[in-house]
Amino acid sequence: MGKLSRVFYHFLCGSLIAIISAAYAESLSYSGRLVNTNGSPVMGPVDLKFDLASTANTSTILCTQQITNVSLTNGVFHVKLDLNCGAQTLSQVLGSIISPDAAAIRVTNETASKSYSFQSLHSVPSAEIAHGLSKLNANNNEVLTWTGSKWEPKPIVGATGGTVTDITAGTGLSGGTITNSGTIAIANGGVTDTHLAGNISRSKLAAGTANSVVVTNGSGVMTEVSQLPVSNGGTGSSTAAGARTNLGLGDAAVATIGYGAGQVMPGEVPMCLSHQKLQMNLGPTFWSCVNDNDSLDATKLPLTGGTMSGAIAMGNNQITGLAAPTLGTDAATKDYVDTKVSTAPGDNLGNHTATTNLALGSNNITGVGTISIANGAWNSPSINFTSSPSTGFFNNGGIIGFSANGSLSMNLSSSTLIMNGSFAPYLRLGGGTFNASNPTYAFNGDPDTGIFNLSTDILGFTTGGVEKMRILATGEVAIGKSTAAGKLDVAGDVALEGAVRFKSDNANYVTLKAPASLGATFNYTLPLTAPTAGQVLSSSAAGVMSWITPTSSPITTVFGRTGAVTATAGDYSGALITNTPAGTIAASTVQGAIDELAAEKQAADATLTSLAAYNTNGILVQTAADTFAGRSISGVANRTSVTNGNGVSGNPTVDIDTNLLPSPAGGDAGKFLKASGANASAWTALAALDITSALGFTPVNKAGDTLSSGTFSFGGTSLLQVTNNPVNATDVTNKQYVDGQISGAGNQWGLASGNVYRSTGNVGIGTSTPGAQIEVSAVNLSPRVKVVNTSSSGVRYPGFSGVNFTGGTAGFPVLDLLNSRGTEAAPLPIVLGDPLGAVTAMGNQNSGSTAFTNAAQIYFSADGNFSATSTPANIYFRTTPAGAVNNVNRMTITSGGLVGIGNSSPNALLSLGDGTSGDKLLRINETSATHKRASMMLGQWEIGQDSQPNNTRDFFIFDGFQSQQRLVIGSSGNVGLGVNNPSYKLHVGPGNFFLESGHLFVRHNSNEGGAVRIQNMQKTGALVNDWVIYNMTGGYNNGLAFWRYAADGTNLGPSMNLHDNGNVGIGTSAPSERLEVMGNVKGVAFLNTSDRRLKRDIASIQDPIEKIKQLHGVTYKWKESGEKSVGFIAQEVEKVFPELVRTDKVTGMKSVQYSNLVAVLVEGFKKQYDQGEKEKAELKKEIDRLKAENEETNRRLDRIEKALQKHP
């Protein structure tokens, strides 16, 4: 599409050859035709954009231009292009495109946003085009002459048919003027060039010899020789006649053939390509195109032994065709190779050292071999650019260095890329489509792991194609989530090795770190709510922390500390606890605490009498049965009354013998005084039976032993029964004994309303070190906890309940399923595919049987190898279908958060079905019989079915942002866009309807076919408010019909028809032409296509006047409208000009091409005019003859009169 117009300047110069050079114009004349997809012409005016590129690489635009408001005629445009080529001119761009590549132009219709494909410019930009005289309507003996503004054919000389009649002698010539014959003498010293031609006599020269040339000896004497001596630096050489000689000779001149300056050579100049030159020949073809291989001189390529003063400038060309390379000049093939270049077979150069520059153009060096370049430096790179010689590459000790404007920018080694920070470098990654699965910066072996630009100022980090972390524009870091509530926001657990430091306002820190060595990993769960004033932080055995309010009860346990501890008077019976060195507590303080605790317990225990203080020997004394008072004791084992001499009434005054009551020595702490023999006692670590037997307790230490108040059994089926109020010490009244191995009320079993309980501690079954309140353990078995309801008289729900009263904290009930490889002593981490646990629902499968079958299950498995930083897992939900006993996976949740329902390998956040299951993937039912609406929400968008208010079960899409219903599909099949109750198959509400691309299909199986109705509700009455476009057939003819309907329902029929054959009828339903109008047509101008390029067999109209005389102009009236008019009768015109009359193939009606009669009238006028001019000339000639005759008659009369006067 298009044509190229260029201007050429021709010069005739020199004495031996004529050189034609082409100066490219900086503008192009370009024409084309724009058509639509269906082939119809584009209507104008339009805004056009023109891009110029090479056919070798159309993605790189070389030049461009935008032109607005371009007029179109039948889609055809004609423009002048002044293309913008950046720093280059259009001539330079066109000259850089090398054959076989060509320049190409792409036209973009910016008005319609449509680009057409690149079209090659068929006039090759790099070619030289000669103007042919025959194409310029030149006459004989005319030549192409430049007038200063254009090329025109002009006569050679004279006006007598081109014959030279005389030559005037000038400088160096003698003999005078040569007329029809004669000779001209040529002086020896006056001839600088000799031209052989038919009009110069050779009689003055020596006899010519075939294949010889004429040379001068320097003194004006010319001779013919058969060989031409060649001078080259003082060394003579010769070249055989006819062979190619070196063109850089300085001492010799060669005269071969040609025409002199100012002479005219007959024949046309051919068109040469950019790599060719125009060569003059002997004839008869005087001009030919040859490859420009020998336009060399001594300044470009040196002769043998010489030096080269310039560079080898190859431009965009290559050295090719060295079929048999040599080390010298190869005149036969016109190739020049100096002694410094050695070549191997083929077209490749071997080792060569360039003296200055080596310009490779746009071509490649292929094959084997290397190009060795000097190392260079950062301020003088070895590979640089002409426009910026200090920018390029260099060798920095085995490292490739990159410099820009003389500054080191980057170093590239075999494994490292280093940017030079002193020059503020940037590493910017280009555009394209990058996301988590295709990161901008990735690794060759792991392409979906790396860094990418999520959006403006947001940096994303991805592994395995899934985003794991992002840095937001405001500096926050989000891990596992898309937003951040602080500088670091993590979704999931955070594991830290080392301390966490919190900085205060005054630059001090609070450091939080783990102990140096932990025996096991444990968790703390922070409270759910904030504390109130006075609350303290407490923790459960599971590590769940909560805020509690301390009670005002007395202190039951005292721990040593380094700080001061004070107490309110009256809380302790003894000295106050005060600060003592090294965190110790004074003995008096401990004693005071013990006394206070004892007093507290006695006061709360109604079954004990008051206990006296321990005496120095640590013995309790008894003064009456079961009543402790004073410091005396009597019992079965020791009936002796004892006193310590305190003068208690009724006691003996004699001291006990030291054998009976020895003083405790070192190491006797915690021991009891026990009889060791007759009248002898010793401090002894007593067993339980020693005390229980002495106090009257029944010992319980084996299966079968009982208490009077119940049974206690270590085996069998006996039960442990205790009193309702357990004590922390020996209860003599209730015959209960607590030895030193149990301390504190929290370690006791309790009984309340038939329930047995413990306040603190854990219960282990199969283990002595339970890690939870209840732990069941076994070796190489499947330990279970079984809850059984043996029989029911009503609805029962056996099971496990986790109950939590948070008290304002964040705790919650949990069910932990723990699984590990290895053993309890040496556990090993879970690996990919290992099961983690399952929750199974089982049912009895057979009457009378206790066998239970797995019916449904939630199954957990590892989705990767577990480590301290990664514990990926999948969840599978399984059920058993009817008629089967094995459960089937129904839903999968992967470690990456993908959910598959009916799909075990989901690849999206929610994947329904696997392509093989049933056709119902998702169903949302109505919520109730009264609220007949089933829907789901996508953000603020609601999608669903609504049966209200008319029970139609309409599908809808509701926009919650604007609170508007966007789409409705009724149960009738009608679709509404912006319409809640659509009345048509597609009912679009107020607003525009735009189809970006594709097609709009309206289909109907009837003679009327599919239709498009355009309605204007503002028109009423008889006005047309409905236009309907039908695709009709049958009795309606085949094609599109535009029908009108009035607002009152009146059918006004079709106004325009577009038939399938392409004919258009306005006011008629059966057009027989491309456009047929039943009525008048009004317009500013009517154009008829009349381009010469569209026509053939062009001939002048013959006898136009005679034919015009046969035409009969008439006046008439149209039968249908009665309107009067003037014109022709088609049948009469057809007899004279049948080509101006068209006959409808269907109706037989005839029509006349009135506009074409203009050509007949013009030719008739011309013929008449020529005839009038001819007759006028003949009349003038006759008048002149008559005038001459009249003058002659007058003269004769005058002579007669004079004669008569003389001879009257």
pLDDT at 847 over 80: no
Looking at the DSSP bridge assignments, the partners of residue 471 are: 459, 477
Lowest-confidence pick of 361-375, 690-704, 888-902, 1193-1207: 690-704
Q: Is the pLDDT of residue 866 over 90?
A: yes
pLDDT given at position 274: 57
Specify the pLDDT at position 344.
Answer: 38
Counting every residue, how long is the chain?
Answer: 1208
Instruction: Quote the CA–CA distance of 1024 and 448 in Å, as a whole number.
Output: 64
Cα gap 449→457, rounded to integer Å: 20
pLDDT of 29 higher than 60:
yes
Enter the tokens of residue 953: 């079960």
Instruction: Report the SS3 class of residue 1139.
Output: helix
Question: Is residue 651 assigned to a domain?
Answer: no
Cβ contacts of 412 within 8 Å, gap of 6 or more: 399, 400, 401, 402, 418
Is the separation of the CB atoms in 1138 and 1150 below 8 Å? Answer: no
Given a cut of 60, whether residue 845 has pLDDT beyond it is yes
Residue 542 has pLDDT above 80, yes or no: no
Q: What is the DSSP letter of 541?
A: T
pLDDT at residue 879 in the model: 94
Task: Encode burial over 419-440: b for 16+ CB neighbours within 10 A, e otherwise.
Answer: ebeeeebeeeeeeeebebeebb
User: What residues pair up with 394 in beta bridges, in sequence order?
Assistant: 401
The torsion angles phi and psi of 567, rounded to 5 degrees, stand at: -145, 160
**Secondary structure (DSSP) of 778-828:** -SSS-----------SS----S-------TTS-----------EE-SSSEE
What is the sign, positive or negative, of the torsion defined by CA atoms of 649, 655, 661, 665?
A: positive
Q: Kindly state the average pLDDT of the residues 1085-1094.
A: 86
Query: Which range, of 58-62, 745-749, 930-934, averages the lowest pLDDT?
Result: 745-749
Q: Are strands 1075-1077 and 1114-1117 parallel, antiparallel or unpaired?
A: unpaired
To the nearest 10°, report the CA torsion of 738, 742, 746, 748: -50
Q: Are 143 and 154 in contact (CB under 8 A)?
A: yes
Residue 532: alpha-carbon gap to chain centroid: 54
Residue 459 lies in a domain: no
Long-range contact list for 461-464, CB < 8 A, 24+ apart? Answer: 462/436, 462/437
Per-residue model confidence as pLDDT tens digits over 543-575: 888 888 876 655 444 444 444 444 444 443 444
- Least confident range of 238-242, 379-383, 667-671: 238-242
pLDDT digits over 1116-1138, tens only? Answer: 998 988 889 999 999 999 999 99
Average pLDDT over residues 387-399: 82
- Is the pLDDT assigned to residue 1076 strictly greater than 70? yes
Distance CA 736, CA 608 (A): 12
- Distance CA(107)–CA(76), nearest Å, equals 13
User: Hey, how many other C-beta atoms are within 10 angstroms of the C-beta on 553?
Assistant: 7
Instruction: Name the E strands within 525-568.
Output: 536-539, 545-548
SS3 of residue 1194 by DSSP: helix
Scan for tokens 């020269």, then name that residue.
205
Name the DSSP class of 771: S
> Per-residue pLDDT averaged across 809-822, rounded?
84
Q: Which residue has the higher pLDDT, 111 or 988?
A: 111
pLDDT of residue 18: 25
How does pLDDT run across 1138-1157, given as a tens digit for each residue? 999 989 888 888 999 888 99
- Report phi then psi at 1142, rounded to 5: -115, 140
Query: Which CATH number characterizes residue 34's domain?
Result: 2.60.40
Q: Which of 27-31, 431-435, 491-495, 1110-1114 has the highest mean pLDDT?
A: 1110-1114
Residue 256 lies in a domain: no
Residue 942 lies in a domain: no
What residue numbers bound the domain in which 323 lies?
A: 300-370
Stated as kind and residue range, the H or E segment containing 933 is strand 933-938
Q: How far is CA 842 from CA 147, 490, 790, 854, 879, in A?
A: 110, 39, 16, 4, 11
Strand residue runs (E) in 970-1021: 975-977, 986-988, 1011-1015
Q: Yes or no: say if 821 and 828 are a contact pair by the CB < 8 Å rule.
A: yes
Which pLDDT band holds residue 762 (cuts at 50, 70, 90)? Answer: confident
pLDDT at 527 over 70: yes
* Residue pair 606/615 in contact by the 8 Å Cβ criterion: no
pLDDT at 677 (0 to 100): 77
Our measurement of the distance from residue 273's CA atom to the centroid of its chain's CA atoms, rounded to an integer in Å, reads 44
Confirm if 764 and 785 have CB atoms less than 8 A apart: no
Q: How many CB atoms lie within 10 A of CB 292?
A: 15
Any domain includes 1031: no
Which pLDDT value is given to residue 106?
94
More confident residue, 987 or 1152: 1152
Residue 719 in any domain: the answer is no
Residue 220 has pLDDT above 70, yes or no: no
pLDDT above 80 (res 314): no
Out of 689-703, 747-761, 828-842, least confident range: 689-703
Confidence of residue 1183 (pLDDT cuts 50, 70, 90): very high
Overall domain count for the chain: 4
Q: Of 101, 129, 157, which closes a domain?
A: 129
The CA-atom distances, in angstroms, between 704 and each of 342, 597, 701, 723, 734 are 116, 36, 9, 19, 20
Whole-number pLDDT of residue 982: 85
What mean pLDDT do residues 908-912 have?
Answer: 85
Q: Find where tokens 């594709």 sit.
A: 998
Please check the confidence at residue 710 and state whether its pLDDT lies above 90: no
Distances (CA, A) of 527 to 492, 536, 556: 17, 11, 26
C-alpha angle 1035-1036-1037 in degrees, rounded to nearest 5: 95
Q: What is the pLDDT of residue 1012?
A: 81
> Is 1152 a domain residue?
yes
Average pLDDT on 1085-1090 reads 84
CB under 8 Å to 404, separation ≥6 — which residues?
Answer: 391, 423
Answer whether residue 473 shows pLDDT above 70: yes
Residue 869: pLDDT band (50, 70, 90) is: very high
Q: Which of 920, 940, 971 is the last residue of a domain?
A: 920
- What average pLDDT is seen over the chain? 70
Q: Which residue has the tokens 């395995």?
A: 464
Structure token pair of residue 1092: 């010469």
The beta strand positions in 118-243, using DSSP E, are: 119-120, 142-146, 151-155, 173-174, 185-186, 213-216, 222-225, 228-232, 235-239
- Gyration radius (Cα) of the chain, Å: 60
Phi, psi for residue 37 in degrees, rounded to 5: -60, -35
Give the pLDDT mean for 646-667. 59
Can you spell out the DSSP letters for 378-394? TTEESEEETTEEEEEEE
- Which of 234-243, 432-441, 1052-1061, 1180-1189 is predicted most confidently? 1180-1189
Highest averaged pLDDT of the listed ranges 37-41, 276-280, 365-369: 37-41
Question: Is the model's pLDDT at 419 over the cut of 80?
Answer: no
Residue with token string 């939590």: 804
CB of 359 closer than 8 Å to CB of 376: no
The whole-number pLDDT of residue 607 equals 35
Question: Of 129, 160, 187, which one is at a domain's C-terminal end?
Answer: 129
Residues with Cβ within 8 Å of 1142's Cβ and at least 6 positions away in sequence, in order, are: 1072, 1073, 1150, 1151, 1153
Across the range 746-766, mean pLDDT stands at 70
Extract long-range pairs of 524-528: CB within 8 Å, 24+ residues apart: 525/810, 525/811, 526/810, 527/808, 527/809, 527/810, 528/806, 528/808, 528/809, 528/810, 528/811
- Residue at token pair 């009543």: 627
Q: Which helix (H) or strand (E) holds 1109?
A: helix 1104-1110
Q: CB–CB of 927/934 below 8 Å? A: yes
Q: pLDDT tens across 990-1029, in order?
A: 777 777 777 777 777 788 777 787 877 777 776 777 888 8
The DSSP string of 82-146 is --B-TTS-HHHHHHTPPTT--EEEEEEETTTTEEPPPEE-SS-TT-B-PPPGGGGTPPTTEEEEE
* Distance (Å, whole) CA 215 – CA 255: 8
Tell me the average pLDDT across 261-266.
50
The reported pLDDT for the residue numbered 159 is 43
Q: For residue 1125, is it within any domain?
A: yes
Instruction: Tell me which residue of 705, 698, 758, 687 sits closest to 732, measured CA to CA.
Output: 698
